[in-house]
Amino acid sequence: MNSKLISKLHGKPLGAATALLFGATLCVAQDDDLAIVELPELSVSSSHTATVEPASTYGAPVSRLELNPQIDLQVRNIAEAQGDVSIRGGIFENTGFRVGAATVMDPQTGHYFAEIPIAPEMLDGPRLLVAGDNALGGFNSSVGTIDFSWSEIEEGGNAALGFGDNSLNFQRLRQAAILSRDESSSWGIEAEVSRSESAGSIENGDHNFVRYSGRLQRLGEDSQTDLFIGYQSKYLAWPELYAAPYGSPESDEVRTSLIMLNHSQDNGSEGNWEATAYYRRHHDHYLFNRFALDNRSFVHETEVSAAAIKGVRVLGDGLKLNYMAQVAADEIESTKLENSFTSRNYLKVTVAPEYLLLSGDDESVSLRAGLSLDDSNRNSSQVSPLADLSWERGNDRYYVSFAQTSQVAGYTAVGGATSGLFASNPNLEREVTQNLEAGAAFTRLGWTFSAAAFLRRDDDLVDWTFSYESPSARSARNVDIDTRGVELIASTRIGQVDFLGGVTLLDKDEAYEDETVDASFYALNYAKARVTAAAIWNATEQIQVRVDNEYRKQRENVLRESGDSAFFTHLGIYYAVPEIEGLELNASIENLWKEDFQEVPGVPGRGRQMSFGASYVW
């Protein structure tokens, strides 16, 4: 175990079905016999939020992350437009998105990691991988991974539409069908189309989105195979979208295509495995001045091909092998980022035996320990250890974990000019992260609790910085950071109300290699204290109220033009019409108090958005 880290201890053509929601629509079903609202448990999809669907557009995988106590979603425009996902004080580049066994990566920049054109209903999750779980299952994501799996297709369909202030309107249609079924397997097909447009909650904050997604699924007694094809096109505008603090009306037009094949296999007492292969193409055209339509200074297209496998193999009594491997190859065509290299290959392999040290009637102690190899043809390789000890007794779990991870920087950081609006740095080192933590999860007196305390050391983290000596540029720089954090989450049900709350406390010490750095856009943009509170209230048999709240106290930043504290509230009211089975009406609002907090320093905060909608499930 690293002595540097320990010393710090002394001083995270195809159809659809299942519940579709729109805008702020949250899926509410009715019992066949009783006209009562069916309330999903908070743990379902592990969202840790009440309002799972947005009020400002149709839902996306990233929608489930907003106001989540474990995840800090730093929003430009709206979450579904451009949201940077930060975990436990890391930056957006440190967060991976895994679907099946493979992390879906964008080699240009982490700003596009969440550009995944999959309808949320096709996915189970998200689940958060941190510490040893991220070291085992993550790929080029040194702090955490948002983990999704493929859901089982159910026959049926949905339609939804909504409208709101700021000229908002959006629509969705999904249909799913079981094509054939026998004693051992079934074939299903699912497809979805969604669109959305709005003038935006502030001037020059408009968007126009469309998504098409479909899949074919074979479901066996102990296996599932999915073939997915998806495409989305998004236009989003926002003042100072990426190039704050220069005051320009900016825009970004992105197009993302994804083809994925996934197979999961359950071998019973022998273990399980899952394999994934995908191809992703992403095109973006960024304009510093949205009205200069002919400007092609920032046009990029990336392609990624990847394959991965993960699983658990039981080797004997009290011994099993956890493993994961992913290979990926990418290339970029760019008007700006071809100064260093334009293609890269990646490899990660992790092997972690797990030993059952103690097993009783209601108690067990296990030790998992192993190694990861990260390699690239453009960077040095890195071997990293992981080890965790866990004690489970009944529904209680206690653990201590040490894990090392590493990753390499994207093309925006290493492939561009060393001056200009976005100043790259071809000499950036491989990032290495070490995380030491202890945690617990238990249930007492109707309350479910989880807690974690961690210490993380990031060596050569890549940050984007500001200097008064070069005020016209954002510059990529390596920085060493020590992060200390505590995370507490609790949930319960009282009467007809489900409650869930979270508290996160963070503190950092940083050392930049370049002493001219005066401010940080990302690495030091974190909440020193963050409190979330969610509630789901079954007001009547047909009416449900869902509310999410967040208070944060951000670290001071000279680039932030708003205050350093904020209070956000998202609210949704849902009415299941008893006379028409499957019909739901809804009213939703995001940013109830019109909080103008700059979630990214220098980037204007979003305004308030209200919407009304209807969804029908058959």
204-260: pLDDT as tens digits: 999 999 999 999 999 999 999 999 999 999 999 999 999 988 889 999 999 999 999
pLDDT of 565 higher than 50: yes
Q: How far, in Å, CA of 307 to CA of 310, rounded?
A: 11
- pTM (2 d.p.): 0.91
DSSP class of 41 = P
List all residues 6 or more positions away from 243 whose beta carbon is below 8 Å from its beta carbon.
250, 288, 421, 422, 474
| CA separation, residue 42 to residues 57, 570, 585 (Å) | 22, 16, 21
pLDDT of 515 higher than 90: no
* Mean local confidence (pLDDT), 408-427: 93
Strand ranges for 408-446 from DSSP E: 422-423, 431-444
* Mean local confidence (pLDDT), 357-372: 95
Give pLDDT, residue 244. Answer: 82
Angle formed at CA 8 by CA 398 and CA 475, multiple of 5 degrees: 110
Looking only at the bridges linking them, the beta strands covering 95-99 and 144-150 are parallel
More confident of the two residues 9 and 599: 599
Instruction: Provide the CATH topology of domain 3-617.
Output: Maltoporin; Chain A (2.40.170)
Q: Check whether the bond before 245 is cis (ω within 30° of 0).
A: yes
pLDDT tens digits, one per residue of 73-106: 999 999 999 989 999 999 999 999 999 999 999 9
pLDDT of 373 higher than 80: yes
DSSP class of 69 = T
Q: How confident is the model at residue 192 (pLDDT cuts 50, 70, 90)?
A: very high
pLDDT of 32 higher than 80: no
* Closest-CA residue to 98 (of 63, 140, 46, 148): 148
DSSP class of 360 = -
